[in-house]
A and B are shown apart, each in its own frame.
Chain A
């Protein structure tokens, strides 16, 4: 056994000296402070982390992990979302049956859809808890005011991501949830045809803000396509960019325990 393990060590040791290995991993990882530091500084996926962090800050009961969990859920949802897109057509004739297919015909399709939905709900919950935690620790105070603003936009984007995904199953639940939700837009002051001063400004059901959101005067094929594009492309893109900014500002302005 001992010899076997030694053999493996030897093979890895030799491999790590090859040209190819060194081009992949840039440097060796020894158990030294310097090497650990380089693991953060020299790694694309790790470089948003600081090298050192207060011992206090990584205790789970300090930050509750909620921001990190929200980010992980976003990645998880992106992955499952891309896989779901392979099995889905965003038109009213196919959408519902594609979802049925996921449940009965696609291998692991129901797990894919279930985890996407539960993950999405969980993300809405964790992002709210994250905001609650940031408030309770006063972490929005100077110099981190602007990052709180970015966070609020991300909160709204999370709601919108979930909301736009609701319609895609094209079943009664999603259809009426979106109908109820977008009916509010009718009442927008000035811009909605049932809102205050909307009528006076010439708003009708065919040119107001709800028409722009749905691509029609009622929830139909255009609304489905719009929801699909917002859900799969526009909102995730906006969220990714703002998340990058959010994390970068945590590095620059400091996290919950102060300067990093």
Chain B
């Protein structure tokens, strides 16, 4: 526990604790409001009218909104000044390229990406996946063609969209950051809060490539083809099965093949991360597909 407190209070780590608390708080707020709204809507058939009524119930920005903005600015300034008085920003030793701290960590908001480095090669974890996150986020309004839930909290009307987004944001982004900050110690090994950070700890684990489980050399031509087939099958089946099931449905007709393919590709790419984490933790899987140029 002592060690946990030490980790909690060094560098900018209390900020991440704060971030975690804020995120949990607002997640609860959002879902409570969504469920409340859903319940209200189920009860009253005239929910749409009330929304329109609300939109027509207008007040003047000056002074009612400007006043609030001003008060928030004052409180924020006070808060920041108090925070700046009681805690000092971290400043370590003079930069020295010859002394590598162990562990050396990226800024806290990139630790989710650094955490992915354990499971994927740098070109995927550090370049491809971040780019896909950005592209995927930008694509959201163009692939989400559900007209409901525009401008109010709801869960029932957007179950798929909200579930996927919350999984990505809360688990794959925030939780990986928290793991990277608080649980990753020397050698980028997992240290529980009650464990002392031991820089000499060695964990002997041998990771195997996928084809090695069947006794096939992953660097051989056969291994190359099997690995490639597994990756291809993952996407083909993942994207194909829901398509076949939903082919005749209304959603698919509205969505169209291009939008569907984009959603399915991004969805299965996102899920590849937790899948690979599980496979690594349970079966010591290293790579699925080994090629002379890159490994997946």
Contact = CB atoms under 8 A, between A and B. Distances in A.
A99 interface: yes
B84 A163 contact: no
The 8 A-B residue pairs with the shortest CB-CB distance in the complex, in nearest-first order? A184-B126, A187-B122, A114-B84, A145-B141, A175-B95, A196-B294, A115-B84, A117-B89
Q: Could you tell me the dominant secondary structure of chain B's interface residues?
A: helix
B181 to A, nearest CB: 12
A125 B121 contact: no
A36 B12 CA distance: 44
Interface string B127-167: 11000001001101110100111111110001000100100
Given A52-B59, A141-B147, A196-B293, A135 B165 contact: yes
A173 B77 contact: no
B118 interface: no
29 contacts: A40-B62, A46-B66, A49-B62, A51-B61, A52-B61, A54-B58, A55-B59, A58-B59, A64-B29, A111-B81, A115-B81, A121-B12, A132-B27, A135-B169, A137-B152, A142-B147, A142-B150, A145-B141, A155-B137, A163-B107, A171-B92, A175-B96, A175-B97, A176-B105, A177-B106, A184-B113, A184-B125, A195-B122, A196-B123
A170 B94 contact: yes
Contacts of A121: 12, 15, 108
- How many chain A residues sit at the interface, stated as a range, is 35 or more
B214 interface: no
Interface stretch (A3-11, A17-25, A66-74, A237-245): A66-74
B109 A162 contact: yes
Interface of B: 11-12, 15, 18-19, 22-23, 26-27, 29-30, 33-34, 54-66, 68-69, 72-73, 76-77, 80-81, 83-85, 87-97, 99-101, 104-110, 113-114, 121-123, 125-128, 134, 137-138, 140-142, 144, 147-154, 158, 162, 165, 169, 293-294
A156 B26 CA distance: 21
Contacts of A149: 138, 141
Given A58-B65, A111-B85, A187 B97 contact: no
A227 to B, nearest CB: 12
Contact of B92 (A55, A73, A141, A172): A172
Contacts of B165: 135
Interface string A93-130: 00010011001000000111111111101101100110
A78 interface: no
Given A135-B165, A159-B109, A196-B293, A99 B91 contact: yes
A46 B60 CA distance: 13
Nearest to B294: A196
Interface in A184-203: 184-189, 192, 194-197, 200
Contacts of B54: 54-56, 257
A159 B107 CA distance: 10
Contact of A187 (B33, B61, B94, B127): B127
A35 to B, nearest CB: 9
Interface string A226-260: 00000000000000000000000000000011110
A88 B158 CA distance: 50
Contact of A133 (B26, B96, B126): B26
Most chain A CB atoms below 10 A, which of B11, B63, B107: B107
A170 B84 CA distance: 20
A81 interface: no
A55 B56 CA distance: 9
